[in-house]
């Protein structure tokens, strides 16, 4: 068999680009797999992957992060995204016991709103000590329906608020915050009721509490009240969105902007306005750049368009709609450079979510490998 040949670096770079044209998108499929290019070896190699794969953080705040994964396939990047959305466990309210609700919000709507409130608490308590709640069978007697609730699998919460008039309010006051007490019911009004051994794991700063206390739950007027007991359990987003640990978990491909011919003067200013601020900049053509034989010959001192930060681009293709920029710019995206944006709801820090998604994907692979080994026995 003839030896494998290596494509040039320019050819490798060309294959990485997804072309973005005025009306079409080209080269959308990955081609780096065995057999696609005759005479080339594209078999997967762990050492080569370790040398080329990169993780670059652009922002790493407690509940909001942005990072790039470079050198992986879209299927793997999407697996991380789906795991972060649907398979990392969190605690959310599952059962509501309405003792009294005289507000204008119906019981089922009120319970649904409460169930969507994200909570925070001791990471060790939630992830290590708190166990999964086993729901009773559908045909179980009502008296035995909650006999499986224990301190190690159920968090007990209460919401007991009554709206009353403020005797100190000015005559004719129209602001409900001043005229009444508890006119608005917020997430901060939900109280945690520890029992059993829970005080060892959920106390002080680590107590179970709403991650965002100012979430509005209901509005009331004097004479109305809400009295609800709630049970929160551990769950995953694939069961219900309220268990998802992320508000958003998305990715996009890194944009590519190649200016193939000089864009000068007023055209350069117009070209910059076709992109979000900070993507395209204006620089002065130097005497060295304007030497004879160069694309900028005779244009010394004029303004030219340059790419400052392609990552900020949204790839709107606005520049491709103008005739003066025809054949002067090429747009694209790098197919193996994924820019992730992850926003946590409060129980997990944003960078921890990505690390946990790696652990879960690794566990899935090990489980599959074990199943395959058992099939070969």
CATH number of the domain at 292, please: 3.30.1360.10
Identify the domain boundary among 217, 244, 271: 244
Query: Sorting pLDDT into bands at 50, 70 and 90, what band is 377?
Result: low
pLDDT greater than 90 at residue 270: yes
- Asked whether residue 5 is assigned to any structural domain, the reply reads no
Cα separation, 96 vs 230, in Å, equals 4
- Asked whether residue 34 is assigned to any structural domain, the reply reads no
Specify whether 313 is located in the same domain as 347: no
Cα separation, 64 vs 250, in Å, equals 12
- Asked whether residue 233 is assigned to any structural domain, the reply reads yes
Specify whether 80 is located in the same domain as 98: no
Specify whether 105 is located in the same domain as 222: yes
- Asked whether residue 43 is assigned to any structural domain, the reply reads no
Q: How much of the chain is helix, strand and coil, in % rounded to 5?
A: 30, 30, 40
Per-residue pLDDT tens over the stretch 61-94 = 999 999 999 999 999 999 999 999 999 999 999 9
143: tokens are 């008296």
Q: What's the pLDDT score for residue 144?
A: 67
Specify whether 95 is located in the same domain as 239: yes
Query: Sorting pLDDT into bands at 50, 70 and 90, what band is 225?
Result: very high
Query: Would you call 322 helix, strand, or coil by DSSP?
Result: coil
- Asked whether residue 40 is assigned to any structural domain, the reply reads no
Domain count within the chain: 3
The average confidence (pLDDT) of the chain is: 91
> Residue 306 is part of which domain span?
261-327
Specify whether 191 is located in the same domain as 312: no
Specify whether 266 is located in the same domain as 171: no
Query: Would you call 109 helix, strand, or coil by DSSP?
Result: helix
**Which is more confidently placed, 56 or 148?**
56
Specify whether 190 is located in the same domain as 137: yes
Q: How far apart are the first and last CA of the chain?
A: 35
Cα separation, 319 vs 331, in Å, equals 9
Residue 70's DSSP bridge partners are 54, 337
From residue 369, give the alpha-carbon distance in Å to each of 46, 47, 357, 365. Answer: 17, 20, 18, 6
């Amino acid at each position: 068999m003839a030896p494998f040949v290596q494509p040039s670096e320019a050819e490798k770079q060309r294959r990485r680009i997804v072309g973005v044209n005025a009306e079409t998108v080209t080269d959308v499929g990955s081609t780096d797999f065995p057999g696609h290019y005759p005479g080339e070896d594209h078999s997967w190699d762990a050492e080569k992957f370790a040398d080329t794969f990169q993780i670059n953080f652009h922002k790493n705040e407690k509940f909001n992060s942005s990072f790039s994964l470079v050198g992986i396939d879209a299927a793997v990047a999407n697996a991380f995204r789906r795991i972060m959305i649907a398979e990392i466990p969190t605690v959310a309210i599952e059962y509501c016991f309405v003792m009294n609700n005289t507000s204008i919000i119906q019981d089922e709507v009120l319970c649904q709103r409460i169930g969507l409130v994200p909570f925070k608490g001791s990471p060790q308590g939630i992830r290590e000590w708190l166990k999964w709640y086993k729901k009773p069978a559908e045909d179980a007697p009502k008296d035995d329906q909650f006999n499986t609730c224990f301190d190690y699998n159920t968090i007990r919460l209460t919401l007991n608020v009554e709206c009353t008039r403020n005797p100190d309010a000015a005559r004719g006051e129209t602001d409900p915050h001043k005229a009444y007490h508890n006119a608005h019911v917020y997430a901060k009004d939900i109280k945690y009721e520890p029992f059993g051994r829970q005080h060892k794991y959920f106390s002080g700063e680590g107590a179970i509490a709403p991650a965002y206390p100012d979430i509005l739950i209901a509005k009331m007027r004097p004479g109305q009240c809400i009295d609800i007991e709630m049970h929160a359990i551990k769950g995953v987003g694939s069961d219900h969105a309220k268990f998802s640990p992320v508000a958003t978990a998305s990715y996009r491909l890194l944009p590519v902007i190649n200016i193939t011919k000089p864009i000068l003067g007023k055209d350069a200013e117009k070209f910059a306005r076709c992109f979000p601020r900070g993507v395209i900049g204006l620089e002065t053509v130097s005497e060295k750049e304007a030497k004879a034989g160069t694309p900028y010959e005779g244009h010394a001192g004029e303004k030219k368009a340059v790419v400052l930060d392609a990552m900020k681009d949204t790839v709107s293709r606005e520049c491709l709609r103008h005739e003066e920029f025809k054949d002067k710019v090429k747009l694209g995206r790098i197919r193996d450079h994924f820019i992730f944006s992850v926003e946590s709801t409060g129980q997990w820090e944003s960078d921890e979510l990505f690390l946990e998604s790696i652990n879960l994907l690794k566990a899935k692979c090990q489980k599959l490998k074990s199943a395959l080994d058992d099939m070969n026995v």
